Each structure stands twice: as C-alpha cells, then as structure tokens.
C-alpha cells in the first residue's frame, strides 16, 4: 500500500457502513453526535493545508467557484476560532488553507421554487469525483439529481434544507471505496481509476482489495438565518481499506453485506460495475485471524 497519501489513522475513521445500503439523508443533530464538533482539526492539518495549497496553485479555477459573501466568511472564521482556538483571517483562501474542511456558502432565496437555498460560492479542493462548478447556483434538489437511487434524498429535500441549513447544525457521513488515496479527486485531475487498479492487481498477481481506500466525507452544517445564509462543510478522511477493516472483527462482513445490497444503479454511479464482483469475492475470503 502506498504511503505518500495523507491518511487518517484508522482508529479515528468513522464507520458509517450499514446494510442494506441506501442513499438517504442520515442526518443527526450535531449536539447529539458522538463527536459534536462543527470542525475537525487534528495533527494532519499541515498536510491538508499543503495539499490544498497545491490544488489552489495549480487548479484554482476548478476548486473555487462563485462569489464569497464577506459576512459569511467572517462568521465561519468566528465559529472556527470559538471551537478550535485557531484564528483565521476572514478570507476565502485563509479559511480554505487553515481548515481541514472544504466549504460551500448557500444563499436563501425565497423567490425560487423548491427548497430555496442555492450555492453561491464553493471552495472544494478535495471533491470525491465531482466538479464544484457544476453545482454552482443549484439548490439541494438540483444538486442531487445525478445521484443514483435518490428518492429518499429528494423526498425529504425541503425538510432537510429547513432543518440543517436554517435551524440547527447537523452532521452526516457519506462513505465510498476508491482506488486512490488522494484527498483531491476532481474528475479532471484524479490520477488513478478502477481500471488502473485492476491492471495493477493483475500485473502483481495480488488482490485488488489491497489497493482500495476507504473514504469518508463528514458533512456538517452551519445555519446563519440572521443573514439568510448557510454553510455546508465537508471534511474528507481516507485510509487503506484493509487496515480499516482490521479495527473490529465484524467490519469485513459489514462491508460485504453493504456492497452486496447496493443496487446496480448505485454501483454504476460510483464507477464500480467492473470491480464489485471481485471485491465481494475478496471480502468473502478475507481473514484477519
């Protein structure tokens, strides 16, 4: 397993894997969460900053899009200082580099149809194979149109938006498997794809699962109803899958059940059609005894 990646220690990785797998909101009030913090700051902060700086230096046009509201930038900086004790300048770049989170600023626009809150600025250096520019100006419903099996997400759109972006900070986790340990996985710049991983595994005569990473996005919300604004925060964490599975004896079987229960639409959406059967077979015979 490559070691140059910025990996979260597996003991600190969330484990939101369950079956049957469903695309659903999965929201929890932040104060009721196991880690009730809007932001996560750890010893990897300098590495995150260095990778974000590299993205902004080489690909700013795809990582930061839209116009940032100075009032909201100041509110983010204030919230970050209150929680972490780290003071950041209320500027887009200072926040992008100082926080391990990416962030999206949304404006409440009651004249629009639908859930109303629309994205007006995205600072996303570490997207999970999606392009920030394609989400600019969209509301919750429009953002999730491409998502496979999105019925539960779309059905609850208005309630989700009102609760998480107007009323109270909320938390959810989204997980996926990826052949790359890179934090930055913009579709234009990501370097390693599933077909590459398959070829490498076949060339070595080894297991594909040994090259797979477990990636989690920790989503939190910061409602700013006094400004008719809100902030969506995305903290990406990644670790080698086999190391993550070793944390408890049940994880391999839980991952196996989750992958087995994914619909074909979700598997295709996540680009795993060509590898799911192989991963299922390797998970089934995996043993950490």
Give residues with Cβ within 8 angstroms of 15, minimum separation 6: 244, 247, 251
pLDDT score of 161: 84
* pLDDT at residue 86, as a whole number: 98
Rg (C-alpha) for the chain, rounded Å, is: 19
What does the chain look like in DSSP terms, one character per residue? Answer: ----S-PPPGGGS-----SS-------EEGGGSSS--SS---TTHHHHHHHHHHHHHHHHHHHEEE---HHHHHHHHHHHHHHHS----SSHHHHHHHSSSEEEEEEE-TTSSTT-EEEEEEE-SS-BS--GGGGTT-BHHHHTTTSTT-HHHHHTHHHHHHIIIII--EEEEEEEEES---S-B-TTT----HHHHHHHHHHHT--GGGG-EEEEEEEEEEEEGGGTEEEEEEEEEEEEHHHHHTTSTTHHHHHHHHHHHS-HHHHHHTT-TTTHHHHHHHHHT----
Domain ranges of the chain: 19-284
**Euclidean distance between CA atoms 69 and 67, whole angstroms:** 7
Q: What is the pLDDT of residue 3?
A: 41
Contact 193/129 with Cβ under 8 angstroms? no
CB 131 within 8 A of CB 188: yes
**pLDDT tens-digit profile, the chain (289 residues):** 334 689 999 999 999 999 999 988 888 999 988 889 999 999 999 999 999 999 999 999 999 999 999 999 999 999 999 999 999 999 999 999 999 999 999 998 766 555 579 999 999 999 999 999 999 999 888 887 778 766 766 676 778 888 889 999 999 999 999 999 999 999 998 778 899 999 999 999 889 999 999 999 999 999 999 999 999 999 999 999 999 999 999 999 999 999 999 999 999 999 999 999 999 999 999 877 5
d(CA 251, CA 174): 16
């Amino acid at each position: 397993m490559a070691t140059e990646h910025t990996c979260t220690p597996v003991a600190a990785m969330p484990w939101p894997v369950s079956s049957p797998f469903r695309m659903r909101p999965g929201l929890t009030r932040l104060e009721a969460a196991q880690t009730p913090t809007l932001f996560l700051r750890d010893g990897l902060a300098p590495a995150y900053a260095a990778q974000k700086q590299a993205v902004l230096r080489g690909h700013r046009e795809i990582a930061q899009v839209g116009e940032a509201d100075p009032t909201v930038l100041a509110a983010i900086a204030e919230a970050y200082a209150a929680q972490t004790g780290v003071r950041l300048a209320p500027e887009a770049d200072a926040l992008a580099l100082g926080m391990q989170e990416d962030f999206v600023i949304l404006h409440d626009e009651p004249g629009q149809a639908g859930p109303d809150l629309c994205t007006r600025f995205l600072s996303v250096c570490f997207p999970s194979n999606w392009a920030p520019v394609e989400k600019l100006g969209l509301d919750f419903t429009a953002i999730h149109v491409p998502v496979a099996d999105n019925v539960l997400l779309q059905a609850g759109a208005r309630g989700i938006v009102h609760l998480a972006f107007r009323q109270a900070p909320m938390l959810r986790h989204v997980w996926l498997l990826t052949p790359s340990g890179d934090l930055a996985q913009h579709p234009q710049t990501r370097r390693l794809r599933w077909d590459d991983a398959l070829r490498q595994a076949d060339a070595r005569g080894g297991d594909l699962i040994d090259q797979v990473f477990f990636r989690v996005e920790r989503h939190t919300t910061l409602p700013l109803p006094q400004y008719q604004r809100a902030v969506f925060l995305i903290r990406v964490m990644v670790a080698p899958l086999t190391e993550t599975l070793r944390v408890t004896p049940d994880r391999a079987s839980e991952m196996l059940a989750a992958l087995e229960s994914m619909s074909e639409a979700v598997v295709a959406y996540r680009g795993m059609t060509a590898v799911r059967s192989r991963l299922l077979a390797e998970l089934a015979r995996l043993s950490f005894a």
